[in-house]
């Protein structure tokens, strides 16, 4: 197992990580050590450190478990009241959604977020659903920056090439899924991964750790090139 994979500076032993292109990163792992961890910690991955919050976990016999979400870890449970907005900018509505959640909004947004909407109606829901509904209406997406802030923006899918990536012969085009292994680098969503097999627009990545071996699944859409 690569030493770069850590949670709160403690090695990951077994578990899984789900990293979607829009929304929060979620993970569930057994971690090294004798004491449980809690609160805001850093998820250490090769090439990037990500701010996450432990949302549940603890001790089970001699094992330590931790479940975490991006940022303050509140979006999926933080309640947002139903409301009508008239001549309000999306930025104002985003700020209202996150108010009191403990999450921080990234200040830079596309220009459309500062243009007033004649009328926006929201039913009572959770903060993640409220964000998803409005960004979808605007043709945008939301995700978490590595520092834990919530980013509203347009996904550009820049091309990336990972020389150490070992693509396993399990591509399932009918599922739009590609299996891979790499202990020295990570594949991130919101990118176009260029491989010897073709180019893949990555919409979600799932990592699995078992018996000291990391494996991953890329879920993609509309490959730009298939060689």
Digit-coded pLDDT (tens) for 120-141: 999 999 999 999 999 999 999 9
Position 162 confidence tier, pLDDT thresholds 50, 70, 90 = confident
Higher pLDDT, 98 or 218: 98
Which residues are paired to 28 by β-bridges? 16, 67
pLDDT the model gives residue 84: 97
Q: How far apart are CA 105 and CA 95, in angstroms?
A: 7
- Can you say how many angstroms the Cα of residue 54 is from the centroid of all Cα atoms in its chain? 15
Query: Is residue 115 packed enough to be buried (19+ CB in 10 Å), middle (13-18) or exposed (0-12)?
Result: exposed
In sign, the C-alpha dihedral spanning 129, 130, 133, 135 is negative
Q: Report d(CA 42, CA 78) in Å as an integer.
A: 22
Answer whether 18's CB lies under 8 Å from 204's CB: yes
**pLDDT at 166 (0 to 100):** 67
175-219-208-26 Cα dihedral, nearest 10 degrees: -120
Name the pTM for this structure: 0.88
State the pLDDT at residue 129: 97
pLDDT of residue 60: 82
Mean pLDDT of 60-78: 93
Residue with tokens 């979400």: 69
Confidence of residue 211 (pLDDT cuts 50, 70, 90): confident
Task: Tell the residue number behind the tokens 């001549």, with chain if given.
Answer: 87
Q: Count Cβ atoms below 10 Å from residue 142 Cβ, excluding itself.
A: 21
What average pLDDT does the structure give for the chain?
89
Structure confidence at residue 1 (pLDDT): 40
Supply the pLDDT for residue 32.
Answer: 92
């Amino acid at each position: 197992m690569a030493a770069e994979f850590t949670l709160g500076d403690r090695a990951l032993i077994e578990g899984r990580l789900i990293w979607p292109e829009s929304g929060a990163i979620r993970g569930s792992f057994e971690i090294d050590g004798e004491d449980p961890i809690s609160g805001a910690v850093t998820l250490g991955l090769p090439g990037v450190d990500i701010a996450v919050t432990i949302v549940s976990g603890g001790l089970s016999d001699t094992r330590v478990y931790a479940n975490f979400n991006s940022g303050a870890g509140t979006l999926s449970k933080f309640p947002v009241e139903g409301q009508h907005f008239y001549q309000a900018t999306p930025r104002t509505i985003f700020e209202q959604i996150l108010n009191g959640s403990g999450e921080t909004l990234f200040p830079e947004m596309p220009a459309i977020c500062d243009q007033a909407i004649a009328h926006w109606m929201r039913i009572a829901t959770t903060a993640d659903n409220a964000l998803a509904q409005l960004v979808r209406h605007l043709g945008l997406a939301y995700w978490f920056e590595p520092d834990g802030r919530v980013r509203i923006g347009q996904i550009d899918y820049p091309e990336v090439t990972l020389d150490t990536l070992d693509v396993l012969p399990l591509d399932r085009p009918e599922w739009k899924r590609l299996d891979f292994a790499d202990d020295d680098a990570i594949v991130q969503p919101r990118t176009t991964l260029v491989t010897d097999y073709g180019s893949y627009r990555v919409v979600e990545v799932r990592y699995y750790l078992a018996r000291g071996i990391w494996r991953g699944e890329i879920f993609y859409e509309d490959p730009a090139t298939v060689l």
